[in-house]
Structures are given as C-alpha cells and as structure tokens.
Amino acid sequence: MRHQIPYRKLSRQRSHYRALMRNLAFSLFEKEKIETTEAKAKEVRGFVDQLVTLAKEGSLHSQRRARALLGNKIIGARDKKIDIVGKLFKELAERLKEHKGGYTRITKIGFRPGDAAPKVVLELVKVKIAPKKEKKTDKSSDEAKTADAKSAA
C-alpha cells in the first residue's frame, strides 16, 4: 500500500526528479501543451499549480521563489529570447487571474508503442477574459423608453 508516500519517485534520484519537474514545467509554460506519460503529468501538475499561484500573487518575493523553483532559464536565439518566469508572471498570471485552481488539464491519448506506457497531453487551461461591458446610464435607458413609447403611439 502507498500510505503516506509524499510523491512518485519515477525511478529517479531526488536531484534527477527535481530536474525533471523543472524541465516539464518549463516546457509546459513555453509551449502551453506537452505530451508525456501519465505518471509524469500527474506529478508535475502540483508543481505547475504552485508556480501559477506564485505568479498570481505577483510580488517580488513570489518572483524570486518561482525563479528558485523553476530556474533562471532564458531560451531562444539572440533576437528572440524568452524569459519563462517573466512570461508566467505577465501573460499567464493575467489570463488565469480569476481561475481558482486546477490550472492544468490532462487528456489521455493512448499508449506508447515501445513499452505501452499510457501517454497523455498536459495543457494549461485556456480561460477567456470576458470583455468589459459598458454600464448603461439612467439617461440612455430613459431615452430608449421614450423612443419606444413614441414609436408605439
């Protein structure tokens, strides 16, 4: 039985496990959708949720904690460098601001041919930002009522 075992070891040493979690989260934030095994996806889900929660806080302390957990990687060519923690704090935090948790979705896609490991697609939830509605003033509603009354008469 698996009682009180804090995490799946995934047949790795602790340092390799941490590196795996960082790399999976990094790829997920970069591409917003990755394909991996079910066990890895279920394990990285909590790590990603923790990072998104830090990003939603938005403080300097949260940024430093996120950089410590994720690493200070900047990818890309000279002209197109992407700071993943910056993207997480600016774009993704804004998009997921109203979402209360569960920032990832796991969708099963079948089995890997070599070892029949269950494969899944792990993706960030796409929350649409609703456009702000214009508030109607009392004058505009009064004018509409009088226009309807005139047309009816």
Q: What is the CATH number of domain 14-152?
A: 3.90.1030.10
Residue found by looking up tokens 């079910």 in the block: 38
Domain spans of the chain, in order of start: 14-152
Residue found by looking up tokens 């079948």 in the block: 110
Q: What global pTM score does this model have?
A: 0.73
Q: How far is CA 132 from CA 22, 31, 72, 128, in A?
A: 36, 28, 36, 12
User: What rounded mean pLDDT belongs to the chain?
Assistant: 83
pLDDT digits (tens, 9 = 90+) for 103-122: 999 999 999 999 999 999 99
pLDDT at 126: 81
pLDDT band at 4 (very low <50, low <70, confident <90, very high): confident
Statement: residue 46 has pLDDT above 60:
yes
Statement: residue 148 has pLDDT above 90:
no
CA-wise closest residue to 99 among 29, 52, 43, 133: 52
Statement: residue 43 has pLDDT above 70:
yes
Main-chain phi, psi angles of 66, to 5 degrees: -65, -40
| Alpha carbon distance 4, 136 (integer Å) | 56
